[in-house]
Amino acid sequence: MSQDPRDSSLNRREFLARAAKAASAAAVACAGAYWVYDSVAPEGTEKARPAEVSDYSIPSLRGRMSIVTGAYRTQTVRRALEALGGIAAFVAKGDRVLLKVNAAFAAPPALSATTNPELLAEVARLCRAAGAASVIVSDNPINDPASCFALSGIEQAARGAGAKVVLPSERLFAPTTVKGARLLRDWPVLQGALAGVDKVIGIAPVKHHQHAGASMTMKNWYGLLGGRRNTLHQDINTTIAELAMMVRPTLVILDGTTAMMRNGPTGGSLDDLAATHTMIAGTDQVAVDAFGATLLGKSPADLPYLAMAAAAGCGTVDYASLNPIKVDAF
């Protein structure tokens, strides 16, 4: 039977033939897609396997804490360490020590937005006196690293005390995954500063933080992160808790000699500061920060990351349960 060429209607046979062709084409396309699909991301040129951060804590010294009141940092930090058994309890002869400072901003020491240089120098000197083979000072600041270390006075203080300043550079970062973490997975961490280190001591000021509530020793580890870390501010409490999970330090020193009470973490005005005259040292960073919160007029419950870190096994919010040694150095 002839058919008008303008008639586009199909008969049964033609429909089946076309359907078979279409199905074949779809099958070939799917097979091709399956062939090129790779469920594992390509390795690229970087190290593909995320590293971890070592545990630098000393098991026999867990749960130690001292609180010293006084106005002079060199004096109060010495007394705080003496109360814990002296620096020799933490730093052995030949140790390589990393002092993780807060050099986040290119701000003068008077603004207390960064680790105080005199305090840093004293701790570095004590480490050297205890026989440390080397003392490294490092941080990945928020602002330009060279400016931060110079203008904060940290660089000069570190060098003057025989410590070496390690500025962050791209090659010093390596992807790192914190065990049990949700956010800090395959995240670039300043592993180069930690390489070969035996002991890690965190030294941080007590500061109000607009977003987190407070920035103290746990938040200080943020300075080991690279990458677009500001995105972590979207879940700042989890981030800080995971930072505590990431770094198990030998010791933390929280400088509450002057506390930034408002407009943190940068501050900017001397009127943001209050003389709180307290130096805290301890091996439990959660407990140390929990006490630090009180210097800002907050309770530990005001900082949710403390309870989260405690729940993750990083320490205790109930700092009083550690029976901290209290010293009056006035």
Partner 1 sequence: MARPDAPRGSTTQSLVGLLILFVLAGIAATMVARQFAYVPIGSPQAGGAPPAPTTSPVVLAEAAPGRFIPQGLVEMTPAESFGPDTLSDKIDGRAELYLGAGFVMLRCQRFADTLDRNQWMEVFVYDMGSPENAYGVFSQQRRPDVKDSDVAQQAYATRNSLHVAHGKYYVEAVQTGQSPRMAEAMAAFARKFVAGVQAGERKLAELDVFPQANLQAGSISRATEDQFGVEGLDNVYTAIYVIGGKQVTAFLSRRKSAQEAVELARAYQDYFLPFGGKVVASDSPVKGAKIVEIDGTYKCAFGQGSYLAGVHEAADRATTEAVAALLSEKLAEVGP
Rounded to 5 degrees, what are φ and ψ at 174?
-140, 145
Rg of the chain over CA atoms, in angstroms? Answer: 27
Q: Count residues binding partner 1 (CB under 8 A).
A: 57
Min CB(244)–partner 1 separation in Å: 17
Longest dimension (CA), the chain: 114
Do residues 221 and 202 make contact, with C-beta atoms less than 8 angstroms apart? yes
Q: What is the DSSP string of 136-156?
A: EEE---SS-HHHHHHHTSHHH
Using CB under 8 A, pick the residue from 77, 104, 163, 190 that binds partner 1. Answer: 104
CA distance 271 to 208: 13
Q: How far is the CB of 16 from partner 1 (least distance, A)?
A: 14
Position among 105, 149, 291, 305 found at the interface with partner 1 (CB under 8 A) = 105
Binding flag, residue 111, partner 1 (CB under 8 A): yes
Smallest distance from partner 1 to CB 133, Å: 31
What is d(CA 295, CA 205) in angstroms, rounded to the nearest whole number?
A: 11
Interface residue with partner 1 among 74, 75, 177, 266 (CB under 8 A) is 266
CA angle, 109 as apex, 91 and 246 as ends, to 5°? Answer: 45
Among 175, 292, 300, 324, binds partner 1 (CB under 8 A): 175
**Is the Cβ–Cβ distance between 137 and 163 less than 8 Å?**
yes
Selected from 67, 123, 212, 293, the binder of partner 1 by CB under 8 A is 212
Q: Closest CB to partner 1 among 168 and 324?
A: 168
Binding track over 27-66 against partner 1, x by CB under 8 A: --x---x--xxx--xx-xxx--------------------
What's the half-sphere exposure (Cβ side, CA atoms, 13 Å) at 50? Answer: 15
Q: Tell which phi-psi region holds residue 41, choosing left (phi > 0), alpha (psi between -120 and 50) or beta.
A: beta
- Residues with Cβ < 8 Å from 4, sequence gap 6 or more? none
The answer, yes or no, to whether the previous bond of 42 is cis (omega within 30 of 0) is no
Interface residue with partner 1, options 131, 160, 196, 268 (CB under 8 A): 268
Residues 128-147 that bind partner 1 (CB under 8 A): 142-143, 147
Q: Which is nearer to partner 1, 69 or 266 (CB)?
A: 266
Nearer to partner 1, 275 or 320 (CB): 275
The burial of 198, by beta-carbon neighbours within 10 Å (0-12 exposed, 13-18 middle, 19 or more buried), is given as middle
Tell me whether residue 114 or residue 283 sits nearer to partner 1 (CB atom): 114
Name which position in 70, 117, 145, 188 contacts partner 1 (CB under 8 A).
Answer: 188
Beta carbon of residue 258, minimum distance to partner 1 (angstroms, whole number): 14
Instruction: Tell me whether strands 134-138 and 96-101 are parallel, antiparallel or unpaired.
Output: parallel
Q: Which position among 16, 27, 71, 270 is part of the footprint of partner 1 (CB under 8 A)?
A: 270
Report the site for partner 1 in 297-326 (rule: CB under 8 A): none
Positions that interact with partner 1 (CB under 8 A): 2-3, 5-10, 14, 29, 33, 36-38, 41-42, 44-46, 104-108, 110-111, 142-143, 147, 170, 173, 175, 187-188, 209-212, 215, 226-231, 233, 236, 262-266, 268-272
